[in-house]
Amino acid sequence: MQTNFLLGTLKMSHRARKALRREPYDLIARHAINEHGLISEREQKQNELSMKNLGELVSRYRVDPTDPKKGTVIVKTSVSWRETTVCLETA
């Protein structure tokens, strides 16, 4: 597996760590190879543009794939690809 962009420094919010109860390296890896999970069509188009101009990239995954009620986490790579953060999505 090879990433299609630079992830930069990896960070994770306390709330995401608590919800996931693990280090989400699998989700970061999916994000890195442009498998962005549960994003909208608009977000997908924005990610495609961001790949061309070093823009922000967003992915969304369920905290628990078997229970949608547990919510989602966002994996976001910042503009210029200097930092990737995993955080719990708030409703």
Reported as a single tens digit per residue, the pLDDT across 4-38 is: 788 999 999 999 999 999 999 999 999 999 999 99
Q: What is the pLDDT of residues 41-54, one digit of tens each?
A: 999 999 999 999 99
- The pLDDT, as a whole number, for residue 53 is 92
Residues in contact with 75: Cβ distance below 8 Å, sequence separation at least 6, in sequence order: 24, 27, 28, 31, 58, 59, 60, 61, 84, 85, 86
